[in-house]
Chains A and B, each alone.
Chain A
Amino acid sequence: MDPKPRPNHDQYLRALHRMTPGERAMKAFELSELSRQLFIQGLRKRFPDLPEKDFHKLLLDRLALCHNTNY
């Protein structure tokens, strides 16, 4: 399932357990925003001269490809 060794797994679960459910969900929102910002930076680096309006359209098109990529 996950071949990575997990030597401190119990401590990791305890840290998650110390957070409230709401805090864990807010962390997920935070991670999502961070990954979105990284995605934007990477895309801008590839298209540095694209006007803002065109860049925004490209960004939305690319983000649409990321939806429901759970499989």
Chain B
Amino acid sequence: MSQHELLRRVVETLDEAGIDYMLTGSYVSSLQGEPRSSHDIDLVVALNEAGASALIKTFQPPDYYLDEISVVSALSQSGDYRQFNLLDSSTGDKVDFWLLSDDAFDQSRFRRKAFDEIGGVRVKVSRPEDTILMKLRWASMSGGSEKQLHDALRVYELQFQQMDHRYLDEWAATLGVVALLDRIKANARPLRI
């Protein structure tokens, strides 16, 4: 199964189970900026126990690996970075499920998500400002990942004219990533149509 098919299957399962979700990470920075390869599909999910059961029931071995204990454990914990993952056993492709947290930025970006279409699949994705902010947040937490900064830079350049710059600046201050955003701005050569 291709990554695209894996995404389709996951989105269909989430939709059928009524689980709200948002695609984020490198596939959204590819969608809004510069395409690049990745082994991981990142999703933020507003998961409950019924939704978790639907995922476990759909993604069964031997085709998939989804550890029920990890899912239950993620659901029972509290905190900002709770996650579990799903593996496609034939290809090794992975979907990371990040549980929606009470964190103000997590709530804001989840509220602002919008539909987009990827190869015939309607998918809810993060807005460009939030894609950039989350990339900067990861870069900050990882000590300055160039890959995250590069992704953020290309989204900034390509979406420059459509973005809500006030939102971007305000959240960058709240998240403590102003220096990284300034670095993006200093290096950017935004597209002007």
Chain A residues at the B interface, C-beta cutoff of 8 Å: 1-2, 6, 9-10, 13-14, 16-17, 21-22, 24-36, 59-60, 63-64, 66-68, 70-71
Main secondary structure of the interface of A (DSSP, over half): helix
CA distance A9 to B187 in the complex (A): 12
Number of cross-chain contacts by CB at 8 Å: 105
A22-B116, A28-B26 given; A34·B37 CB < 8 A? yes
Interface magnitude class on chain B:
35 or more
Residue pairs across A and B with Cβ atoms less than 8 A apart, 10 shown, are A1-B146, A9-B189, A10-B191, A21-B116, A25-B27, A25-B35, A26-B119, A27-B30, A28-B26, A71-B143
Chain B residues at the A interface, C-beta cutoff of 8 Å: 2-4, 26-28, 30-40, 89, 91-92, 94, 96, 116-119, 138, 142-143, 145-150, 153-154, 157-158, 183, 187, 189, 191, 193
CA distance A11 to B149 in the complex (A): 21
